[in-house]
Structure 1
Amino acid sequence: MDLRTDQPHPARVYDFYLGGKDHFAPDRELGRRVLEICPQLASGAQTNRRFLARSVGLLTREYGIRQFLDLGTGLPTSPNLHEVAQKIAPEAQIVYVDNDPIVLTHARALLAGTPEGVTRYVDGDVVDIDRILEEAARTLDFGRPVAVSALALLHFLPDPRPAEMLAKVRDRLVPGSFLSISHALPGLREAAAAYQGATGLGTLRDRDEISALFGDFELLEPGLTEPHHWRPELEPAEEDPEGELDGLGACGVARKR
């Protein structure tokens, strides 16, 4: 298995932003270069992680979701999606998807769920969404509601791949299912340029373009907003008094009617 530790990788750079330990010198070098341009990006990554926890907790508690498909999982960082969902509903079933060898290695070792629930990992490229959905269907029942998440992922894919991929996902889901997205905004263009040639950042999209990725799904309140503004009452300790995180990224959770 070639872990390509001599080259920076988005998952490991993201782990560096989160203060994790699963990164190497090239990842730290790129991460520091990006943070020189946009110092608040580390806080933005941490805030995006808390959005994951809040949204998964809400869907599990208030909407009774018991099946989750996480596209572009990245390196395990607690709390992971299955930890949040299975703490509330031990029987919840989670399928993680990623195609990076080092993520796969860590996932096999660390992503263990409850005895009552199921936690599985699909090794695959999210662009090959037909195969991903086929593999996920071995664990998840797509005849019942599923919550699909694509967090800090789609800006690594050039147009029109995200729209094509998510159209197939939305078509596969039954009413009562959910789609969660977080995405970098064009305000990060200078920082994103540092990725070019290193990890291959794809496309920064504006709010209208991100909203379009939800298709005809209905956005939950407060709609498309910054991660730290999405249902902050679920985590009262999270604050951004100076507004430093505004304009870095947008997120939303939408329901299929």
Structure 2
Amino acid sequence: MRLALATAVVLSLFTSPTMAEPTVKLHAAGSLKAAMSDIADLYEKTHGVTVARAFGPSGLLRERIEGGEAAEVYASANMKHPTTLATAGKAGPVALFARNRLCALAQADLAVETETLLATLLDPQVRVGTSTPKADPAGDYAFQVFDKAEAFSSGATEALKAKAFQLTGGKDSAKAPEGRNPYGWVMESDKADLFLTYCTNAVLAQRDVPELKIVALPEALSVGANYGLTVVNDAPQAAWQLAVFILSPAGQEILASYGFTAAGAL
């Protein structure tokens, strides 16, 4: 699909105005905010085009685009949402541009390690937090972890899904104060003892609240996340150029610096 997107970019050069548009509208997953902000800043500096940015849960961003909100480049924390737009004829080809994985973010006083993570999750006294499935792919990935747990403890999937607090990523989720990492804020506010989120989010949360612990998932429960990129129909040439820039060595290097596994350069 990367080749398909690159081909579409070349075609756009012959169908779009040659004058660069003054602004490109970027909609991107909240987990991409730090990395994509740096990418957008560098793109603005090197291309002389302003990037207007909207960050949020990927599913909610997709709904906004489907509802007619002006958008041009859409970077999702999964492949499903951009593919949905492409299948509906609202966007071009979808490219895998980064990978992530899930980690557990734990309170400092919670005795938990990779080897004891499942037992800790199942402990009735331990409050488990996740993002909101369907609205935010991070919630869907967390629930995939719960699905995998069934192979090791009968009834684990149902128990974990029933006890999980969906604390972020939903339409009605409480918002962190301006400038605060949402996951660090949730944990500092004592809303959960353990939170399943992207490892990249966990690193940023720990920078915000240094006493938090990051626990790797055991291989048997590990869940990876593929991030998809697409350009919305009728977007200007500069939007296609931004998409290529995200896939370029410069964009991929920035993603890697924030802990994403880069998908590789064009």
Fold shared, TM-score > 0.5 on shorter chain = no
TM-score w.r.t. length of structure 2: 0.36
Larger Rg: 2
